[in-house]
Amino acid sequence: MSQHTVQKRLTAPDIRARKNMAPIVSLTSYHAHTAAIADKYVDFLLVGDSLGMVMHGFETTLPVPLELMIMHGRAVTRGARHALVVVDMPFGSYEESPAQAFRNAAKVMKETECGAIKIEGGLRMAETIKFLSERGIPVMAHIGLTPQSINVFGGFKTQGRERAQWAAIEADAVAVTEAGAFAVVLEAVAEPLAAKITKMIDIPTIGIGASASCDGQILVMEDMLGLSPRVPKFVKEFGEVGKAIEKAIASYADDVRTRAFPLPENTYDVKD
Protein backbone atom coordinates (compact mmCIF):
# COMPACT_ATOMS: atom_id res chain seq x y z
CA MET A 1 0.00 0.00 0.00
CA SER A 2 1.42 3.38 -0.89
CA GLN A 3 1.93 5.82 1.93
CA HIS A 4 1.70 9.57 1.61
CA THR A 5 1.56 12.32 4.16
CA VAL A 6 -1.67 14.26 4.21
CA GLN A 7 -0.84 17.78 5.22
CA LYS A 8 -3.50 19.21 7.49
CA ARG A 9 -4.81 22.67 6.70
CA LEU A 10 -4.47 25.16 9.56
CA THR A 11 -7.69 26.24 11.23
CA ALA A 12 -8.91 29.35 13.03
CA PRO A 13 -8.35 27.64 16.45
CA ASP A 14 -4.75 26.83 15.36
CA ILE A 15 -4.16 30.53 14.72
CA ARG A 16 -5.96 31.48 17.95
CA ALA A 17 -3.62 29.13 19.86
CA ARG A 18 -0.56 31.02 18.59
CA LYS A 19 -1.00 33.87 21.09
CA ASN A 20 2.42 34.57 22.68
CA MET A 21 4.00 31.84 20.54
CA ALA A 22 6.08 31.99 17.34
CA PRO A 23 5.01 34.98 15.21
CA ILE A 24 2.17 34.31 12.77
CA VAL A 25 3.15 34.86 9.13
CA SER A 26 0.48 35.95 6.70
CA LEU A 27 0.01 37.62 3.34
CA THR A 28 -2.86 38.59 1.11
CA SER A 29 -3.42 36.47 -1.97
CA TYR A 30 -5.96 36.74 -4.74
CA HIS A 31 -4.98 33.96 -7.13
CA ALA A 32 -4.36 30.21 -7.16
CA HIS A 33 -0.75 30.49 -8.34
CA THR A 34 0.46 33.05 -5.75
CA ALA A 35 -1.45 31.13 -3.09
CA ALA A 36 0.40 27.93 -4.04
CA ILE A 37 3.78 29.67 -3.75
CA ALA A 38 3.02 31.46 -0.47
CA ASP A 39 1.40 28.38 1.05
CA LYS A 40 4.81 26.92 1.93
CA TYR A 41 5.72 29.89 4.10
CA VAL A 42 2.60 31.39 5.65
CA ASP A 43 0.16 30.40 8.37
CA PHE A 44 -2.82 32.09 6.78
CA LEU A 45 -3.69 33.77 3.50
CA LEU A 46 -6.14 36.63 3.41
CA VAL A 47 -8.25 37.15 0.32
CA GLY A 48 -8.44 40.85 1.13
CA ASP A 49 -10.90 43.24 -0.44
CA SER A 50 -7.75 45.27 -1.24
CA LEU A 51 -7.98 43.20 -4.44
CA GLY A 52 -10.39 45.86 -5.66
CA MET A 53 -7.57 48.42 -5.63
CA VAL A 54 -4.61 46.13 -6.36
CA MET A 55 -6.10 44.00 -9.14
CA HIS A 56 -9.11 45.86 -10.43
CA GLY A 57 -7.92 49.47 -10.33
CA PHE A 58 -10.58 50.89 -8.00
CA GLU A 59 -9.60 53.96 -5.92
CA THR A 60 -10.97 52.39 -2.72
CA THR A 61 -12.24 48.98 -1.57
CA LEU A 62 -15.85 50.20 -1.45
CA PRO A 63 -17.01 49.07 -4.92
CA VAL A 64 -15.93 45.43 -4.41
CA PRO A 65 -18.94 43.06 -4.77
CA LEU A 66 -19.45 39.83 -2.80
CA GLU A 67 -19.29 37.74 -5.99
CA LEU A 68 -15.78 39.02 -6.75
CA MET A 69 -14.60 38.02 -3.25
CA ILE A 70 -16.10 34.57 -3.79
CA MET A 71 -14.42 34.14 -7.17
CA HIS A 72 -10.97 35.09 -5.82
CA GLY A 73 -11.62 33.14 -2.60
CA ARG A 74 -12.23 29.98 -4.66
CA ALA A 75 -8.98 30.50 -6.57
CA VAL A 76 -6.99 30.83 -3.33
CA THR A 77 -8.53 27.79 -1.63
CA ARG A 78 -7.71 25.80 -4.78
CA GLY A 79 -4.09 27.03 -4.72
CA ALA A 80 -3.29 26.65 -1.02
CA ARG A 81 -3.33 23.32 0.83
CA HIS A 82 -1.76 24.14 4.18
CA ALA A 83 -2.56 27.76 5.10
CA LEU A 84 -5.84 28.82 6.64
CA VAL A 85 -7.70 30.87 4.03
CA VAL A 86 -9.58 33.91 5.36
CA VAL A 87 -11.91 35.82 3.04
CA ASP A 88 -12.78 39.48 3.58
CA MET A 89 -16.44 40.46 3.69
CA PRO A 90 -16.79 43.47 1.37
CA PHE A 91 -18.41 46.80 2.21
CA GLY A 92 -22.20 46.55 2.46
CA SER A 93 -22.33 42.77 2.89
CA TYR A 94 -22.42 42.55 6.71
CA GLU A 95 -22.95 45.90 8.49
CA GLU A 96 -26.75 46.05 8.32
CA SER A 97 -27.49 43.30 10.84
CA PRO A 98 -26.08 40.06 12.27
CA ALA A 99 -28.60 38.18 10.08
CA GLN A 100 -27.35 39.87 6.89
CA ALA A 101 -23.76 39.13 7.96
CA PHE A 102 -24.58 35.46 8.62
CA ARG A 103 -26.38 35.03 5.30
CA ASN A 104 -23.48 36.45 3.29
CA ALA A 105 -20.68 34.92 5.38
CA ALA A 106 -22.30 31.47 5.09
CA LYS A 107 -22.47 31.94 1.30
CA VAL A 108 -18.76 32.86 1.25
CA MET A 109 -17.83 29.82 3.35
CA LYS A 110 -19.97 27.39 1.32
CA GLU A 111 -18.84 28.65 -2.08
CA THR A 112 -15.12 29.20 -1.36
CA GLU A 113 -14.53 26.51 1.30
CA CYS A 114 -12.45 29.07 3.22
CA GLY A 115 -11.87 28.53 6.94
CA ALA A 116 -12.81 31.97 8.24
CA ILE A 117 -14.00 35.42 7.25
CA LYS A 118 -12.81 38.90 8.22
CA ILE A 119 -14.91 41.95 8.98
CA GLU A 120 -13.94 45.53 9.74
CA GLY A 121 -15.02 47.33 12.90
CA GLY A 122 -14.62 47.00 16.66
CA LEU A 123 -17.23 47.74 19.30
CA ARG A 124 -19.90 48.47 16.68
CA MET A 125 -19.46 44.99 15.12
CA ALA A 126 -19.17 43.04 18.42
CA GLU A 127 -22.77 41.79 18.33
CA THR A 128 -22.24 40.52 14.76
CA ILE A 129 -18.95 38.82 15.64
CA LYS A 130 -20.67 37.01 18.52
CA PHE A 131 -23.61 36.02 16.30
CA LEU A 132 -21.35 34.58 13.60
CA SER A 133 -18.88 32.82 15.93
CA GLU A 134 -21.72 31.13 17.81
CA ARG A 135 -23.10 29.83 14.50
CA GLY A 136 -20.02 28.17 13.07
CA ILE A 137 -18.31 31.10 11.35
CA PRO A 138 -14.82 31.95 12.67
CA VAL A 139 -14.28 35.70 12.54
CA MET A 140 -11.07 37.65 12.22
CA ALA A 141 -11.70 41.25 13.31
CA HIS A 142 -10.01 44.33 11.84
CA ILE A 143 -9.61 47.58 13.78
CA GLY A 144 -7.54 50.77 13.67
CA LEU A 145 -7.55 52.03 10.10
CA THR A 146 -10.48 50.26 8.48
CA PRO A 147 -10.32 51.10 4.75
CA GLN A 148 -14.06 50.54 4.18
CA SER A 149 -14.63 53.61 6.43
CA ILE A 150 -12.25 55.77 4.40
CA ASN A 151 -14.97 58.35 3.77
CA VAL A 152 -15.49 58.75 7.52
CA PHE A 153 -11.74 58.93 8.28
CA GLY A 154 -11.15 61.33 5.38
CA GLY A 155 -8.05 59.44 4.19
CA PHE A 156 -5.72 56.52 4.92
CA LYS A 157 -4.51 57.94 8.26
CA THR A 158 -2.56 56.35 11.10
CA GLN A 159 -4.82 55.73 14.08
CA GLY A 160 -3.83 56.47 17.69
CA ARG A 161 -1.26 59.18 16.99
CA GLU A 162 -2.96 61.20 19.70
CA ARG A 163 -3.32 59.64 23.12
CA ALA A 164 -6.88 60.94 23.28
CA GLN A 165 -7.77 58.35 20.58
CA TRP A 166 -6.34 55.39 22.49
CA ALA A 167 -9.29 54.57 24.74
CA ALA A 168 -11.67 54.04 21.81
CA ILE A 169 -9.23 51.78 19.95
CA GLU A 170 -8.49 49.78 23.12
CA ALA A 171 -12.25 49.41 23.69
CA ASP A 172 -12.56 48.06 20.12
CA ALA A 173 -9.83 45.47 20.78
CA VAL A 174 -11.47 44.31 24.00
CA ALA A 175 -14.95 44.21 22.42
CA VAL A 176 -13.91 41.98 19.48
CA THR A 177 -12.01 39.67 21.84
CA GLU A 178 -14.98 39.30 24.18
CA ALA A 179 -17.30 38.77 21.20
CA GLY A 180 -15.31 35.71 20.12
CA ALA A 181 -13.03 36.83 17.27
CA PHE A 182 -10.13 34.37 16.90
CA ALA A 183 -7.63 37.11 15.90
CA VAL A 184 -7.63 40.81 15.15
CA VAL A 185 -5.87 42.82 12.46
CA LEU A 186 -4.43 46.12 13.74
CA GLU A 187 -3.98 48.33 10.69
CA ALA A 188 -1.96 51.57 10.82
CA VAL A 189 -2.16 51.75 14.61
CA ALA A 190 0.53 53.84 16.34
CA GLU A 191 3.33 51.52 17.51
CA PRO A 192 3.06 51.95 21.30
CA LEU A 193 -0.71 51.50 21.18
CA ALA A 194 -0.44 48.34 19.05
CA ALA A 195 2.13 46.96 21.49
CA LYS A 196 -0.13 47.82 24.44
CA ILE A 197 -3.17 46.15 22.83
CA THR A 198 -1.11 43.04 22.04
CA LYS A 199 -0.29 42.68 25.74
CA MET A 200 -3.83 43.54 26.81
CA ILE A 201 -5.94 41.00 24.88
CA ASP A 202 -5.69 37.23 24.75
CA ILE A 203 -6.25 36.71 21.01
CA PRO A 204 -3.45 37.16 18.45
CA THR A 205 -2.96 40.63 17.00
CA ILE A 206 -1.93 40.73 13.33
CA GLY A 207 -0.13 43.96 12.54
CA ILE A 208 -0.01 45.85 9.28
CA GLY A 209 1.89 49.10 9.73
CA ALA A 210 1.45 48.68 13.50
CA SER A 211 4.12 47.10 15.74
CA ALA A 212 6.82 44.43 15.46
CA SER A 213 5.57 43.15 18.80
CA CYS A 214 2.20 42.10 17.36
CA ASP A 215 1.60 38.33 17.44
CA GLY A 216 1.82 38.22 13.65
CA GLN A 217 2.21 40.39 10.57
CA ILE A 218 0.39 40.75 7.29
CA LEU A 219 1.25 42.66 4.12
CA VAL A 220 -0.44 42.98 0.75
CA MET A 221 1.56 40.53 -1.36
CA GLU A 222 1.89 42.83 -4.38
CA ASP A 223 3.24 45.60 -2.09
CA MET A 224 5.97 43.47 -0.50
CA LEU A 225 6.92 42.00 -3.90
CA GLY A 226 7.61 45.44 -5.35
CA LEU A 227 4.78 45.07 -7.84
CA SER A 228 2.47 47.87 -6.67
CA PRO A 229 3.02 51.30 -8.24
CA ARG A 230 2.49 53.03 -4.87
CA VAL A 231 2.92 51.49 -1.43
CA PRO A 232 2.19 52.76 2.07
CA LYS A 233 5.21 54.19 3.94
CA PHE A 234 5.48 51.22 6.31
CA VAL A 235 5.91 48.60 3.56
CA LYS A 236 9.30 46.96 3.10
CA GLU A 237 9.70 45.76 -0.48
CA PHE A 238 11.27 42.29 -0.45
CA GLY A 239 11.50 42.02 -4.23
CA GLU A 240 11.50 44.00 -7.47
CA VAL A 241 8.85 41.98 -9.27
CA GLY A 242 7.39 45.00 -11.09
CA LYS A 243 10.81 45.79 -12.60
CA ALA A 244 11.39 42.11 -13.49
CA ILE A 245 8.03 41.94 -15.30
CA GLU A 246 8.74 45.12 -17.25
CA LYS A 247 12.20 43.88 -18.26
CA ALA A 248 10.78 40.55 -19.48
CA ILE A 249 7.97 42.22 -21.45
CA ALA A 250 10.34 44.74 -23.03
CA SER A 251 12.66 41.93 -24.08
CA TYR A 252 9.74 39.92 -25.56
CA ALA A 253 8.53 42.99 -27.50
CA ASP A 254 12.06 43.45 -28.80
CA ASP A 255 12.26 39.85 -29.99
CA VAL A 256 8.91 40.11 -31.79
CA ARG A 257 9.81 43.40 -33.49
CA THR A 258 13.21 42.13 -34.66
CA ARG A 259 11.70 38.80 -35.81
CA ALA A 260 13.98 37.04 -33.35
CA PHE A 261 11.02 35.38 -31.67
CA PRO A 262 12.58 32.22 -30.29
CA LEU A 263 10.92 28.85 -30.89
CA PRO A 264 12.87 25.74 -29.93
CA GLU A 265 14.25 24.11 -33.06
CA ASN A 266 11.96 21.63 -34.86
CA THR A 267 8.92 22.83 -32.88
CA TYR A 268 6.66 22.85 -35.88
CA ASP A 269 8.58 20.72 -38.39
CA VAL A 270 6.39 19.64 -41.26
CA LYS A 271 6.75 16.04 -42.35
CA ASP A 272 6.59 15.27 -46.09
Long-range contacts of 40-44 (CB under 8 A, 24+ apart): 40/82, 42/83, 43/10, 43/14, 43/15, 43/18, 43/83, 43/84, 43/216, 44/10, 44/15, 44/83, 44/84, 44/85, 44/86
187 is catalytic: yes
Name which position in 27, 28, 29, 128 contacts ligand KIV (CB under 6 A): 28
Q: Is there binding between residue 211 and ligand KIV (CB under 6 A)?
A: no
Q: Is there binding between residue 208 and ligand KIV (CB under 6 A)?
A: yes
Interface residues for ligand KIV in 78-137 (CB under 6 A)? 88
Minimum separation from the CB atom of position 96 to ligand KIV (A) = 20
Catalytic site residue from 120, 170, 187, 222: 187
In a 13 Å sphere around the CA of 178, the CA atoms on its Cβ side amount to: 13
Q: Is there binding between residue 66 and ligand KIV (CB under 6 A)?
A: no
Interface residues for ligand KIV in 133-162 (CB under 6 A)? 142
Q: Is there binding between residue 218 and ligand KIV (CB under 6 A)?
A: yes
Q: Is there binding between residue 49 and ligand KIV (CB under 6 A)?
A: yes
Neighbours of 135 (CB within 10 A): 11
Name which position in 12, 24, 108, 185 contacts ligand KIV (CB under 6 A): 185
Binding site for ligand KIV (CB under 6 A): 28, 46, 48-50, 88, 142, 185, 187, 208, 218, 220
Residues acting as catalytic residues: 187
